[in-house]
Structure formats: C-alpha cells, structure tokens
Structure 1
Amino acid sequence: MEIGNQIDHIDLTLSFGSDDLKGVPNNHNDALVIRAMVANYDVARIFVDLGSFVNVFFQETINQMELGQYMMEPVITSLFGFTRHAIRPIGLIHLPLTLGKNNTRKTRIVSFIVVDAPSTYNAILGRPAMTYFMAVASALHQKINFLVGSKVGEVKGYQVISRRCYVEEVHIEQKVASTGSVDRPGLAGREQVNLVEEDTSITTGD
C-alpha cells in the first residue's frame, strides 16, 4: 500500500447538484460531521471545519489509539478558538487519513495539531486536509467530494450525530462559562474510535 501527498491533476469538475440533496432535510443548518479511517482506526465525530487553518486531534481521542509508531513533534504556537481562550498545543502528529470506500478510497498523510481541550468531537478537518485530498465540502449537501485519479469519491455526513454534538457543545460552553472547568464530557454512549484490521486495498488515487 502506497501512501503519499501527491496532488491529483485530473480535469474533473467537483460540484454538487440536486441529486446530492436526496435524503437531506430542507433548510437544515447542521454542521458537516463525518467518520473516517485514521491510522487504522475508525474514528467517528470528525467535524469538517473549512474555517480552520489547521487539522486538530483531541488528546482524549489520541489516548484511545495505540500510536507508538507515530512520533509527535513539539509545537510552540498557541491556538485560539477553543473554549474562547488560547490553547497551547501538546504537539504535532502526522497520521494516514483515508476517505471514501471501495474503489474510490484515497489516503493521505495529514498533519494534526493535538490539543487537550473540551470538545464533543474527536477531530477537526480544516482547510489543509481538504487541500491534500483535492476535496470540496458542502454542509448544505452533507457531503465531501474529492478526486481519486480519474474518479470522484465521496463521504457523507451524519446529521443525527452532528445535532447531538451541537447540543453537547452548548452544554460544555455553558459549563466552562459558569465554572471554568474544561473537562471533556463523559464517554458513555459516545461514538469514539474502533480498532479495525489493516486494509491493503486502500488506494492513494494516483
């Protein structure tokens, strides 16, 4: 299995149409929340945030994953936007991320900033990840489209989980504002990470 960060140069148009809205409620305002393969784990609650200039993994999720073969690098720059104050990252880690299924799967090595901050999400995919995958995301259509060689792959969002995450995030913000506590919510009943067997049929799309 070859994994790389080569950029596809295929003359294809990534777009969304009426067919992409099938099964998606009208006039919704849900964030795009997906699940994907990260370092051989099936990771749920991944928030696709095109307003973020970094990709983020949360420390509690990292703790569930056996990532001894992936070295974490130091980071000296603080991040703003988590719990409305500056957060000093724990480090930077480079992990293989796979989007799509079957013959339209694609893997890229993605750099994640690791932070210890309260969140109902396990990870955030920002603009850098979308660039690596030559991807276009649409919260309206609850989908990501990306180039896989001469084909177009897709990842669909989970609106039920998205809405649940929003409610939990509001509760976290209220708790932080009232108590100053930055504890993450309890894990009971939450979609986290599951270990899966290595799949050697993953394609990089090159």
Structure 2
Amino acid sequence: MEIPIMFEESDAVEGHHDGLVISLPVAKEHGSSANIIMLDTLKHMNIDEKNIIIKSTMLVGFSGETKKTSGEITLATYAKGVNLQVKFLVIDTLSSYNIILSRPWIHEIRAIPSTYH
C-alpha cells in the first residue's frame, strides 16, 4: 500500500527564494533529460579519467547555447534508500553546479521536489 505524500501550509519555508538543491552521495563520496557531471567534479572525487567512455554528444543549454560532451561515465548513486547505477554525460566546463540530475532520474527514485516546501 502506498501512502500519499501531501504538503500542508505549515510545511512552507517563509522567505525562502533560493534554487532547489538536492544533495546525494555519488560514487565514492558519502542533487533536464540528461544526467550531467562536470569533469572537474570527477577529478575532485579522485575518479580516474580512464573510466570515462569517450563519446561526444551535443548538449543544448537552457539559453540555447551548445556544448560538446567529453564522454560518459556510469556511477553509483544513493538517495533515501535507493541505489542506482546512473549514466552521466561528462562536460569540461566551469559551472556553479557539480552535477545536474534529469527528470527521469528524479522520477525513477520517486522523489517529490517542492520548491515551496
């Protein structure tokens, strides 16, 4: 039996206008239609670049800009009791984010992000 998840007005966070950030362990560490990880993030995680499968894919950003990927890598993720092997497209660019997770990933773990709550 699945229990419905409901938010009430008392769950709201007043004065909160920050972006939604979801944090989760990926690979060795203990948050679109593509899962994206920055090359610099992999380096900080001490993941050898030899693990990246060289495969160039063209990505189109939110403002229409394009970027080629360096390749792809599959990493273990863990979020609220759900372990998944997730394929990430690797890009070598500066970013405010370490990882961008896709809607399909969010749906697969049955997460319910709410920016209001």
Does the alignment reach a TM-score above 0.5?
A: yes
CA contact (8 A) 2:57 2:68 kept: yes
CA contact (8 A) 2:57 2:71 kept: no
- The answer to whether 1:53 aligns with 2:41 is no
Q: 2:91 maps to what in 1?
A: 115
| CA distance in 2 between partners of 1:93 and 1:14 (Å) | 33
CA contact (8 A) 1:92 1:114 kept: yes
Q: 2:101 aligns with which of 112, 125, 136?
A: 125
CA contact (8 A) 1:55 1:128 kept: no
Give the number of the structure whose alpha-carbon radius of gyration is greater: 1
CA contact (8 A) 1:53 1:126 kept: yes
- The answer to whether 1:106 aligns with 2:82 is yes
Q: Which has the larger helix fraction?
A: 1
CA contact (8 A) 2:56 2:70 kept: no
SS of the equivalent of 2:51 reads coil
The offset of 1:82, in angstroms, is 6.7
The offset of 1:19, in angstroms, is 4.3
CA contact (8 A) 1:59 1:115 kept: yes
Structure 2 stretches lacking a partner, 5+ long = none
| Letter of the structure 1 residue corresponding to residue 56 of structure 2 | I
Q: 1:17 maps to what in 2?
A: 8
| CA distance in 2 between partners of 1:132 and 1:56 (Å) | 16
Q: 1:93 aligns with which of 73, 98, 111?
A: 73
Q: 1:29 maps to what in 2?
A: 17
Q: 1:71 aligns with which of 48, 51, 64?
A: 51
Q: TM-score, normalised by structure 2?
A: 0.81
| Letter of the structure 1 residue corresponding to residue 99 of structure 2 | A
RMSD of aligned Cα (Å): 2.3
| CA distance in 1 between partners of 2:106 and 2:73 (Å) | 17
Identity of aligned residues (%): 30
The offset of 1:126, in angstroms, is 1.7
Structure 1 stretches lacking a partner, 5+ long = 1-9, 47-51, 142-206
Residues 26-47 of structure 1 show CA distances to partners (whole Å, capped at 9, x for unaligned) of 4x332111321111204xxx4x
The offset of 1:115, in angstroms, is 0.8
CA contact (8 A) 1:79 1:87 kept: yes
